[in-house]
């Protein structure tokens, strides 16, 4: 019999590459697909933030979804740091 966890394991979908403080946007490179409406969990040494993706951009163009390998920008409510891991929250 397997032990059930209180929360399902989160899957890494990318890593923060830059944070633009003046506009509150993180840049990240995806290792899995991501869509507007998805909930993500950003974790790092001093970062622990859960948010719903309300919009994303690729090369300054708003897109409804992005795919593995894409470099995207997502608005965040607080500071994140390069190297923080982005997980798909359940």
CA distance 90 to 10: 7
Q: Is the model's pLDDT at 34 over the cut of 60?
A: yes
The C-alpha atoms of residue 90 and residue 87 are separated, in whole angstroms, by 9
Share of the chain above pLDDT 90, in %: 86
The predicted pLDDT at position 39 comes to: 96
Residue 68: both structure tokens together: 């593995």
Superfamily of domain 11-88: Translation factors (2.40.30.10)
């Amino acid at each position: 019999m397997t032990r059930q966890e209180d929360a399902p394991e989160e899957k890494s979908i990318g890593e923060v590459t830059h944070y633009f403080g003046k506009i509150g946007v993180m840049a990240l490179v995806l290792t899995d697909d991501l869509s507007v409406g998805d909930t993500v969990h950003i974790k790092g040494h001093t970062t622990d933030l859960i948010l719903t993706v309300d919009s994303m951009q690729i090369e300054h163009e708003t897109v409804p979804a992005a795919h593995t390998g894409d470099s995207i920008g997502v608005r965040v409510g607080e500071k994140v740091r390069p190297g923080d891991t982005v997980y798909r929250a359940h």
